[in-house]
Amino acid sequence: MTKDELVSGLKKILVDLDTNEHRQGLESAEITPKTDEYGVKVISFYQSLDQAQKEALFALLKQIRIDTIASLFAFLDGSFFIEGQTADMRLVNLANPDKKLNEDLADIFLNLVCVWNR
Protein backbone atom coordinates (compact mmCIF):
# COMPACT_ATOMS: atom_id res chain seq x y z
CA MET A 1 0.00 0.00 0.00
CA THR A 2 1.25 3.44 -0.88
CA LYS A 3 0.71 6.67 1.06
CA ASP A 4 -1.75 7.83 -1.61
CA GLU A 5 -3.75 4.58 -1.39
CA LEU A 6 -3.84 4.81 2.41
CA VAL A 7 -5.05 8.40 2.42
CA SER A 8 -7.56 7.87 -0.39
CA GLY A 9 -8.98 4.74 1.23
CA LEU A 10 -9.39 6.37 4.63
CA LYS A 11 -10.98 9.45 3.06
CA LYS A 12 -13.49 7.27 1.24
CA ILE A 13 -14.47 5.41 4.41
CA LEU A 14 -14.23 8.12 7.07
CA VAL A 15 -15.50 11.12 5.12
CA ASP A 16 -17.61 9.94 2.20
CA LEU A 17 -19.20 6.68 3.33
CA ASP A 18 -19.63 7.55 7.00
CA THR A 19 -21.20 10.91 6.17
CA ASN A 20 -23.63 9.26 3.76
CA GLU A 21 -24.48 6.54 6.30
CA HIS A 22 -25.25 9.15 8.95
CA ARG A 23 -27.42 11.05 6.48
CA GLN A 24 -29.34 7.91 5.52
CA GLY A 25 -29.69 6.89 9.15
CA LEU A 26 -31.14 10.22 10.18
CA GLU A 27 -33.43 10.38 7.15
CA SER A 28 -34.97 7.01 8.05
CA ALA A 29 -34.82 7.32 11.84
CA GLU A 30 -38.02 7.04 13.85
CA ILE A 31 -38.60 7.53 17.52
CA THR A 32 -39.91 4.32 19.10
CA PRO A 33 -40.37 3.22 22.72
CA LYS A 34 -36.89 1.63 22.47
CA THR A 35 -35.16 4.85 21.38
CA ASP A 36 -32.83 6.11 24.11
CA GLU A 37 -32.81 9.70 25.35
CA TYR A 38 -29.86 10.70 23.15
CA GLY A 39 -31.53 9.21 20.08
CA VAL A 40 -34.76 11.07 20.79
CA LYS A 41 -32.87 14.37 21.03
CA VAL A 42 -30.91 13.78 17.82
CA ILE A 43 -33.88 12.55 15.77
CA SER A 44 -36.14 15.34 17.04
CA PHE A 45 -33.51 17.97 16.28
CA TYR A 46 -32.87 16.61 12.79
CA GLN A 47 -36.58 16.39 11.96
CA SER A 48 -37.06 20.01 13.06
CA LEU A 49 -34.65 21.26 10.37
CA ASP A 50 -35.69 22.37 6.90
CA GLN A 51 -33.81 20.97 3.89
CA ALA A 52 -31.31 23.85 3.70
CA GLN A 53 -30.50 23.47 7.39
CA LYS A 54 -30.03 19.73 6.95
CA GLU A 55 -27.57 20.36 4.11
CA ALA A 56 -25.70 22.88 6.27
CA LEU A 57 -25.57 20.36 9.13
CA PHE A 58 -24.03 17.68 6.90
CA ALA A 59 -21.57 20.18 5.41
CA LEU A 60 -20.50 21.04 8.97
CA LEU A 61 -20.21 17.37 9.96
CA LYS A 62 -18.15 16.63 6.85
CA GLN A 63 -15.82 19.54 7.60
CA ILE A 64 -15.39 18.37 11.19
CA ARG A 65 -14.43 14.91 9.89
CA ILE A 66 -11.95 16.45 7.43
CA ASP A 67 -10.35 18.62 10.13
CA THR A 68 -10.09 15.69 12.55
CA ILE A 69 -8.54 13.36 9.98
CA ALA A 70 -6.11 16.06 8.84
CA SER A 71 -5.04 16.56 12.47
CA LEU A 72 -4.52 12.82 12.94
CA PHE A 73 -2.45 12.63 9.77
CA ALA A 74 -0.41 15.66 10.92
CA PHE A 75 0.29 13.83 14.18
CA LEU A 76 1.33 10.68 12.34
CA ASP A 77 3.57 12.80 10.09
CA GLY A 78 5.35 14.13 13.17
CA SER A 79 4.05 17.69 12.99
CA PHE A 80 3.37 17.62 16.74
CA PHE A 81 3.82 15.32 19.72
CA ILE A 82 1.25 14.39 22.32
CA GLU A 83 1.94 14.48 26.05
CA GLY A 84 4.31 11.70 27.03
CA GLN A 85 5.53 11.06 23.48
CA THR A 86 9.31 11.07 23.26
CA ALA A 87 9.99 9.89 19.71
CA ASP A 88 8.60 10.08 16.19
CA MET A 89 6.08 7.46 15.12
CA ARG A 90 6.80 5.08 12.27
CA LEU A 91 3.86 3.81 10.23
CA VAL A 92 4.78 0.97 7.86
CA ASN A 93 3.17 -1.62 5.66
CA LEU A 94 4.41 -4.98 6.95
CA ALA A 95 4.92 -6.14 3.37
CA ASN A 96 7.58 -3.41 3.04
CA PRO A 97 8.64 -2.45 6.60
CA ASP A 98 11.66 -0.44 5.48
CA LYS A 99 9.46 2.13 3.73
CA LYS A 100 7.91 4.67 6.12
CA LEU A 101 4.34 5.60 5.20
CA ASN A 102 3.78 8.50 7.55
CA GLU A 103 5.36 11.33 5.66
CA ASP A 104 3.22 13.97 3.98
CA LEU A 105 -0.07 12.20 4.83
CA ALA A 106 -1.75 15.43 5.91
CA ASP A 107 -0.66 17.22 2.74
CA ILE A 108 -1.83 14.35 0.54
CA PHE A 109 -5.17 14.27 2.35
CA LEU A 110 -5.78 18.01 2.21
CA ASN A 111 -4.84 18.14 -1.48
CA LEU A 112 -7.24 15.27 -2.16
CA VAL A 113 -10.06 16.92 -0.23
CA CYS A 114 -9.50 20.31 -1.84
CA VAL A 115 -9.52 18.82 -5.36
CA TRP A 116 -12.66 16.80 -4.66
CA ASN A 117 -14.52 19.71 -3.10
CA ARG A 118 -14.10 21.97 -6.13
- pLDDT tens-digit profile of 8-27? 999 999 998 998 999 999 99
pLDDT for 12 equals: 94
Q: Is the pLDDT of residue 7 over 60?
A: yes
| CB crowding 85-100: b at 16 or more within 10 Å, else e | eeeeeeeeeeeeeeee
Strands 92-93 and 96-100: antiparallel
How many residues are present in the chain? Answer: 118
Contact, 99 vs 93, CB < 8 A? yes
In the chain, where the domains are located:
3-116
Confidence of residue 1 (pLDDT cuts 50, 70, 90): confident
Least confident span in 62-66, 68-72, 77-81, 92-96: 92-96
